[in-house]
């Protein structure tokens, strides 16, 4: 892959410069995506126990909230 600055300095065709820029960007994005794929797959498939525990804790909290009854305040109306 030619250096983009060399292409500009050599007065290369604009399409060649554009292609070099796109190739460089695609290469960099592919590297980052590969790194992120590994992190996401590790998070999704290596720790199922922790995720289940979080769901159980949330379900227990919802049940506790539903069973808690707060007394209503009495209002006095002027008659």
* Interval 35-71: pLDDT, tens: 898 888 888 887 655 555 566 666 666 666 555 556 6
Instruction: Report the pLDDT averaged over residues 9-24.
Output: 93
Query: Cα Rg for the chain, rounded, in angstroms?
Result: 30
Q: How many domains does the chain have?
A: 1
Q: Which percentage of the chain shows pLDDT scores above 90?
A: 33
Q: Is residue 72 part of a domain?
A: no
Q: Is residue 75 part of a domain?
A: no
Which among 1, 33, 34 is positioned nearest to 19, based on CA atoms? 1
Q: Encoding tokens for residue 33? A: 């995506």
Q: Is residue 46 part of a domain?
A: yes
Instruction: Report the pLDDT averaged over residues 4-30.
Output: 93
Query: Taking all residues of the chain, what is their mean pLDDT, rounded to a whole number?
Result: 77
* CA–CA distance, 73 with 51 (Å, rounded to integer): 40
* CA–CA distance, 44 with 51 (Å, rounded to integer): 9
Prediction pTM value: 0.46
In the structure, what pLDDT confidence band is assigned to residue 31 with cuts at 50, 70 and 90? very high
């Amino acid at each position: 892959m030619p250096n983009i600055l060399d292409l500009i300095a050599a007065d290369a065709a604009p399409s060649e410069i554009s292609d070099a820029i796109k190739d460089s960007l695609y290469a960099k994005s592919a590297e980052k995506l590969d790194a992120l794929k590994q992190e996401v797959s590790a998070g999704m498939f290596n720790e199922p126990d922790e995720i289940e525990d979080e769901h159980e804790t949330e379900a227990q909290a919802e049940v506790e909230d539903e069973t808690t009854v707060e007394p209503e305040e009495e209002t006095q109306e002027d008659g």
